[in-house]
């Protein structure tokens, strides 16, 4: 019985070395460090009105990422405690309204983590949800030479102020997202500010990234594993070597959520796990 309990404990926490909260000026970030690091870091950005601890718990990225040797960093946005946000140029809240220099803040987080924990500042991956995806993708195109790949869920960049580049991109988005609309003119069904300043529609962003990469071959497949009334269309744009440079996962019936079995509710498909897909995409760009 004792041996079984020990084995279960080891399986549950196989490679976690430690978790630490770091104070950086007047901001903080949370970091999970693997026992056997490969030098790479994943920067995971919470959604608007979210928080690092909540986002870490919601997406369940740390355990599988640590098992692959990544350090996982969860920076904290700015604003009131229950209204934290990121300045993604056209979104969102306190951070945008006060012109918080969040791209520069992420520069500092990455540099500090590299120096403090012996990580490689040239082996950076970013992901985020909603407002966090907006900043993750914006940072990736502003710092293309540093970022190995980026994965955004339910958030697009302002192409008027941040041009698409050749950075590898995974984008996951629900067709029924009412916060960051998938298509049309990007006008949200809620929030007057987003009506005046619409988000970039997903197809427009993907086309811009494809054009930046040049000649890519497109393939399409559909995932419909679960009996949940939803499905996922996967458009993959690969280079001459067959490696996916851009992947778009469109969730039919999907809402403004991080898809996957870890979170039930309306608009959340069980056909894919966004966490699994993010790590799979990053693994293709080591």
Number of domains into which the chain is organized: 1
Tell whether 2 is covered by a domain.
no
Mean pLDDT of the region 200-221? 97
Tell whether 94 is covered by a domain.
yes
Structure-token pair, residue 165: 């580049």
- Cis amide leading into 92 (omega within 30): yes
Tell whether 119 is covered by a domain.
yes
Write out the residue range of the structural domain in which residue 77 sits: 11-283
Mean pLDDT of the region 15-32? 90
Partnered with residue 153 across adjacent β-strands are: 129, 172
Weakest mean pLDDT among 35-49, 93-107, 263-277: 263-277
280: helix, coil or strand?
helix
- Residue 38 is predicted with a pLDDT of 93
Tell whether 42 is covered by a domain.
yes
Tell whether 197 is covered by a domain.
yes
Contact 74, 44 (CB under 8 A): yes
CATH number at residue 61: 3.40.50.1820
Mean pLDDT of the chain: 90
Weakest mean pLDDT among 19-33, 126-140, 181-195: 181-195
pLDDT tens-digit map of 61-117: 999 999 999 999 999 999 998 899 999 999 999 999 999 999 999 999 999 999 999
- Residue 198 is predicted with a pLDDT of 87
pLDDT tens-digit map of 139-167: 999 999 999 999 999 999 999 999 999 99
Tell whether 4 is covered by a domain.
no
pLDDT tens-digit map of 226-247: 999 999 999 999 999 999 999 9
CA neighbours closer than 13 Å in the CB half-sphere of residue 49: 0
Tell whether 6 is covered by a domain.
no
Tell whether 112 is covered by a domain.
yes
What angle do the packed helices 131-142 and 102-117 form, to 10 degrees? 80
Among residues 52, 34, 54, the alpha carbon closest in space to that of 44 is found at: 52
Distance CA(37)–CA(53), nearest Å, equals: 22
Q: E-assigned strands of the chain?
A: 16-24, 27-34, 41-45, 71-75, 124-129, 147-153, 169-174, 217-223, 231-238, 244-252
16 pLDDT band, cuts 50/70/90, is: low
- Which residues touch 269 (CB under 8 Å, ≥6 apart)? 226, 228, 230, 231, 232, 251, 253, 254, 259
263 pLDDT band, cuts 50/70/90, is: low
Q: pTM here?
A: 0.91
């Amino acid at each position: 019985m004792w041996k079984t309990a020990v084995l279960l404990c080891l399986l549950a926490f196989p490679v976690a070395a430690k978790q630490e909260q770091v104070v950086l000026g007047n901001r903080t970030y949370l970091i999970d460090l693997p026992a056997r690091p490969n030098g790479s870091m994943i920067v995971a950005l919470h959604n608007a009105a979210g928080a690092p601890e909540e986002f870490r718990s919601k997406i369940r990225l740390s355990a599988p990422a640590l098992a692959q040797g990544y350090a996982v960093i969860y920076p904290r946005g700015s604003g009131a405690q229950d209204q934290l946000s990121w300045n993604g140029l056209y979104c969102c809240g306190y951070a945008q309204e006060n012109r918080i220099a969040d791209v520069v803040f992420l520069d500092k987080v990455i540099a500090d983590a590299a120096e403090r924990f012996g990580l490689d500042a040239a082996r950076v991956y970013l992901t985020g949800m909603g407002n966090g995806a907006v900043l993750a993708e914006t940072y990736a195109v502003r710092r293309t030479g540093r970022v190995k790949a980026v994965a955004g869920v339910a958030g697009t960049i302002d192409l008027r102020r941040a041009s698409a580049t050749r950075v590898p991109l995974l984008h996951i988005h629900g067709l029924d997202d009412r916060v960051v609309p998938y298509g049309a003119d990007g006008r949200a069904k809620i929030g007057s500010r987003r009506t005046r300043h619409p988000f970039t529609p997903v197809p427009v962003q993907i086309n811009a990234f494809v054009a930046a990469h040049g000649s890519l071959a497109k393939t399409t497949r559909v995932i419909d594993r679960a009996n949940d009334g939803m499905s996922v269309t996967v458009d993959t744009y690969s280079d001459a070597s067959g490696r996916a440079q851009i992947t778009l996962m469109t969730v039919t019936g999907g809402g403004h959520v991080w898809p996957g079995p870890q979170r039930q509710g309306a608009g959340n498909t069980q056909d894919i796990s966004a966490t699994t897909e993010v790590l799979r995409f990053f693994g293709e760009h080591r």
